[in-house]
Structure 1
């Protein structure tokens, strides 16, 4: 087999598709799939780690916020009662 034919076969076997890279970017971009596909392992791992840390952080923050909001549901009656009592006091003392 001539060297040119062998090179062409190796090129065809190893070439990447821009369409596949864009599909990976669109659907799995936050996980670095397009970078892994393009052979950029280091930056793919960095993007994957950054995304996982971001999801974990956001998840933790959302969980704390959710707990806070549930606790607030039990505290609201006391807040409103105290506010209304202060309002009554201010209106009766000033009038």
Structure 2
């Protein structure tokens, strides 16, 4: 998977807060649109708890994405 740009933690949190229910923060960080269908299903099954768990995982995802970006330079 290639990383096209450095990721911003602040933008990821804003996306999570306003559009997290539909998984936009996951698309931004992981650059995989296919993950959205699984995310929607998981959110429906867990009644939105997965959305809350994601806020604690975003920082790690951003760090990993930025590490991959540096390695690709």
Structure with larger RCO (C-alpha < 8 A, sep 6+): 2
TM-score norm. by structure 2 comes to 0.43
Larger radius of gyration: 1
If the length of structure 1 is used for normalisation, what is the TM-score? 0.34
